[in-house]
Structure formats: C-alpha cells, structure tokens
Amino acid sequence: MKTAGVSRNTRFVGIGVCCVLAAALWAGRSEAQSSLAGTWRGDLNTPAGALTLVLSLDGSSGGTIAVPARGVAGIPVTDVTIREDGSLEFQVPADLSAFEGQLRGSTLIIGEWIQAGQRIPIQFERTSETLAQPVVRPRHQTPKPPHPYAVQEVVVAGEVPLACTLTRPHGSEYPVAGAVLLTVAGPNDRDQTHSGHKPYMVLADNLTRRGLAVLRCDDRGVGGSGDELLPTPIEGMVADARAMAEYLADLDGIGPVGIIGNSEGSVVGAIAAANGDAAFVVLLGGVGTRGDDVIRERLLDMASRSGLSEDEADTLIAPFDALVSVVLEAGGVGASELERTDPALYARLADIAATPGVADPFLPADVEDRIALFAGSWYHAQVSLDGGAILAQVQVPVLALTGSKDRTNLASQNLPAIRSALVRARNPDFEVIEVPGLNHVFQTAVEGGIAEYGQLDESFSPIALQLIGDWIIERFGDE
C-alpha cells in the first residue's frame, strides 16, 4: 500500500501501545512459592527435536525462560502459582503458552507445556549449575568509531534533564535538516537497545552520513536522564519531545526539525507536531485508531496464530474488555485518588488485576503495581487515545511505515486508518507504506513476534533506512 498527497505540511500520531494485553492472575507470595526460587532445566520434545528450556523463578510470582539453542533469554514468566497440594502453574504471555504440573519434592517439577491447544509432557529438574545462557552477539550494523561526522554528548533541559547524543555532519555550507528520535513504550535508552541491537544508533548513523543532524535521548529514568518514565503522563512525554526539537532547532546551522517515532514514540511525536513543534513526522509502526481497538486486534491475531478457537479467543479478550471499561470510567486519576473517591470502582479494578487471564509480558508481576498502572494516566491514554483523531489535525509532511510482520500494531488495521485520517485532514503531503517482511522494530523477520527479535542479526532494515532517508532528503535535505 502506498499513497501520496501533494504538498508539505503535516502532523500525525500513531498510538504505539506496547504494554497492554489483559488482566492477570496473581496468587500472592507464600512459603511454597519461595521454595521454587532458583534455576530449573527441562527438555521440550518438538517436531524438530528436543529443545532445552532454562526456567529461572524468583520465588514470588514471576521469572524468566531462556532457550539457549535459539539465542533467546529473558522471556517473561508470570503468574507463578503453587498450591498446598504441590500443583503448580505459570504463564508465558509472549507466545500464549502456559505450564501446568506438580512439584515433586524440592528438585523436580513434572507437568505439561500448553500451547495452541496442545499439551506436551515436560519435566524440569532443579540445577545448581551455571547453565550456558545465550551470548548476545555483536550486531554487524552497530556503528563503530571513527565516525565520518561529529558526535557530541549533550543535556536537554526540559521539564527534566535528558541525557542525549547529537550527531551532525562536519561543516556544511547550508543549514541541515534535523530529526529527533522517540522510542517505543517503556523505559528505553537513546539507542532503543534490545537483545544486543541498537536500532536508533543505526538509524542516526545512516541519516547523519546522508547529511542530517540527529538527536536521540535516554527516556526519563534511564541512563543519565532524570525522573521516572512510567508515572509520566502523555503530556510529559510530549513536553520532552518538544524540548528535544527546540534544542536541536536552536543550534547554529540547523534547518527544519522533524520527529521520527516508533510505536508510542509515533503518538508522542504526532501530538507534538499537531502542536506546531515539528516540521515533519515519520511514524514507524504507528496507529490509526483507538488504543483499545489496536490491543484487541493484537490479541485476536495472537490467538489466531496460536491456533485458538473462536470461543478460546473470546475468553482471551473478555478480561481485557472488562479492564478497559473500568480504566475509562476511572479516568486515569491514580490508584490513591480512585480508592479515596470511588472505593467500589477501585475494588472492581483490583479484582480485574488479580483475575485469571492472559498476562502482558510488559506488565508488572505484582498485583498492587498493576493496579497502580491501570489506574494511572499513562495506561488510560494507552487505551483511550485515538490515533485517527490526532492524525486528522496534522498538516506537516507525514511518512507512515509499518512492517507486514508487525505483530504489535498490525498493518492491516492501522495503515488504512492512517491514510483515511490524513485524507480527512486534507493533508497535502503524506505517504503510507506497508514494508514487506518487517516486524514492529523494523527488522527483517521470520514470524514477527517479540521473542524472535534477539534471534535476528539485523538491527534495522536497510530498505526502511533508505525509505526514511530518501523521504526526508527529498523534502528538506541536500545530499
């Protein structure tokens, strides 16, 4: 899909909602749960042969799984529950898997791995060995010095100080265009580092080599930046984006400054642009509809790919729909205020947070932390913001790219909605492109899911890099 307008003025928003699936079950801490703490090893029989799983439990309600043969580690395990009779269960939300079994003594867990309606016998044995964990390989695209451009560590003084890296071409006869990079949801460093990849360092390097100035910063509470991210309302994130854009625009030799945002960063950037704080917006994995609809579609896609029936999918969606209803009614006032002003609604929210269901791998393991998240302004914005409504106000140039294998913000749902909103806005200059084979963080993917990110050697698709650079330079650059 590719659509273009005619002139140069835009703004958009794509709500990159990365942290919201359903409610989750939480069985509380107990002596029995504490006894599970440690490392367990099991072999899962698959059609391709035995696959070793390394299970690390924290002694409360969570843990992680590593799959050394696939180079994957840190997959969240949630809702670990052990009962008086030794029956045990936990969930692995990243791929809609679960385990049900029995603790035998203190060194053996026997049970079944459950996925897509299949039950595969597996037993985990406690081990004191230091098992080989996946080694994070150096990624070939990560830039290494010396760089053919200037690199400077700077601090942007907005509502809170933000620690940043500025890259810009060595001496130019004319002012150069600039771009601010905004990350996906959750606390991220300036390079959007994940599983050894540094995609924003790769993107900044590519754009700067082509003659653009690029500013990228640690999120609040990360690296050298102040404050905390998760309690920050969407308005605070927009203020940070504005401060970054103003800092870059005020430098000598810098021309028009735009924003490039991935997922939630595209929402924040679009709102900033709608407020007049950006000359252009690039939406990477953006959103064109309301946040709860995006999440619901994501859940249905996960259910379909996991082989769940319609009835099972409905069961999966029900806790999320109940959660959204309460979150919208609560209005993002915060847990303490909600408990004080509407104890009944607070109790409903607490019940949902502790109800059996599908846990989001990005959500806190502790039920009280989940209540605080669901009652706060950030989560309220995640489910209530309407990407299309924001897009309909945008008049600066917009480039919207989404990968065909994006399993977080689906191209089939969001790109048509983005295009429709920009048409309604009578935006004179936009392009909407589905990029074949790319996932949510713009790697060339096999399946596209989160668990695959670390298995891929590519940090940022060269095709996407070319599309982004060409589009900006055509309008604002001088290569």
pLDDT in tens, 60-71: 778 888 887 766
Q: How many residues does the chain have?
A: 479
295-332 as b/e: b if 16+ CB within 10 A: bbbbbbbbbeebebeeeebeebbebbebbbebbeebeb
With cut-offs at 50, 70 and 90, classify the pLDDT of residue 24: very low
Q: Looking at the domain assignment, is residue 206 inside a domain? A: yes
Question: Which token pair is 370?
Answer: 């989940």
Domain carrying residue 79:
31-126
Question: Which token pair is 88?
Answer: 């045990």
* Residue 82 Cα distances to 37, 62, 85, 187, 457, angstroms: 12, 12, 8, 31, 38
Q: Looking at the domain assignment, is residue 350 inside a domain? A: no
Q: What's the burial of 404, exposed, middle or buried (CB within 10 Å: 0-12/13-18/19+)?
A: middle
Quote the Cα angle for 441-444-450, to 5°: 45
Domain end among 95, 126, 157: 126
pTM for the whole structure: 0.81
Is there a single domain that holds both residue 119 and residue 217? Answer: no
Eight-class DSSP state of 385: -
Q: Looking at the domain assignment, is residue 63 inside a domain? A: yes
What is the domain-level CATH number for residue 468? 3.40.50.1820
- Sequence-distant (≥ 6) Cβ neighbours of residue 343 within 8 angstroms: none
Q: Looking at the domain assignment, is residue 328 inside a domain? A: no
* Residue 145 Cα distances to 149, 151, 205, angstroms: 10, 10, 11
Is there a single domain that holds both residue 154 and residue 14? Answer: yes
Residue 192's pLDDT is 97
Domain end among 70, 97, 126: 126
Q: Looking at the domain assignment, is residue 114 inside a domain? A: yes
Report the candidate in 387, 104, 355, 142 with the shortest Cα–Cα distance to residue 273.
387
Which residue carries 């990005």 as its tokens? 362
Residue 356's pLDDT is 52
Q: Is the per-residue pLDDT at 76 higher than 90? A: no
Is there a single domain that holds both residue 186 and residue 161? Answer: yes
Residue 220's pLDDT is 95
Q: Looking at the domain assignment, is residue 186 inside a domain? A: yes
Helix (H) or strand (E) holding 113: strand 108-115
Is there a single domain that holds both residue 217 and residue 175? Answer: yes
What is the domain-level CATH number for residue 97? 2.40.128.640
pLDDT in tens, 404-444: 999 999 999 999 999 999 999 999 999 999 999 999 999 99
Residue 311's pLDDT is 87
Is there a single domain that holds both residue 428 and residue 457? Answer: yes
Residue 18's pLDDT is 33
pLDDT in tens, 83-140: 888 899 998 877 778 899 999 988 999 999 987 667 889 999 998 866 555 556 779 9
* Residue 366 Cα distances to 26, 62, 64, 133, angstroms: 7, 9, 15, 26
Alpha carbon distance 402, 388 (integer Å)? 16
Is there a single domain that holds both residue 80 and residue 221? Answer: no
Helix (H) or strand (E) holding 123: strand 118-127
Residue 132's pLDDT is 53
- pLDDT average, residue stretch 186-195: 93
- pLDDT average, residue stretch 198-207: 98
Is there a single domain that holds both residue 54 and residue 9? Answer: no
Residue 63's pLDDT is 87
- pLDDT average, residue stretch 35-46: 88
Report the DSSP pairing between strands 97-104 and 108-115. Answer: antiparallel
Is there a single domain that holds both residue 14 and residue 118? Answer: no
Q: Looking at the domain assignment, is residue 70 inside a domain? A: yes
Q: Is the per-residue pLDDT at 360 higher than 70? A: no
- Cis amide bond preceding 146, omega within 30: yes
Is there a single domain that holds both residue 85 and residue 206? Answer: no
Is there a single domain that holds both residue 276 and residue 400? Answer: yes
Residue 134's pLDDT is 54
Alpha carbon distance 25, 79 (integer Å)? 6
Of 186-190, 243-247, 315-319, 460-464, the one with minimum mean pLDDT is 315-319
Domain end among 93, 126, 159: 126
Q: Is the per-residue pLDDT at 28 higher than 60? A: no
Is there a single domain that holds both residue 189 and residue 107? Answer: no
For every residue of 253-280, DSSP letters joined together read: TEEEEEEEEETHHHHHHHHHHHTT--S-
Q: Looking at the domain assignment, is residue 375 inside a domain? A: no
Is there a single domain that holds both residue 11 and residue 44? Answer: no
The separation between CA 425 and the C-alpha centre of its own chain, rounded to angstroms, equals 28
pLDDT in tens, 278-298: 999 999 999 999 999 999 999
Q: Report how many domains make up the chain.
A: 2
Report the candidate in 148, 254, 188, 210 with the shortest Cα–Cα distance to residue 468.
210
Report the candidate in 221, 186, 179 with the shortest Cα–Cα distance to residue 200.
179
Residue 70's pLDDT is 66
- pLDDT average, residue stretch 194-200: 93
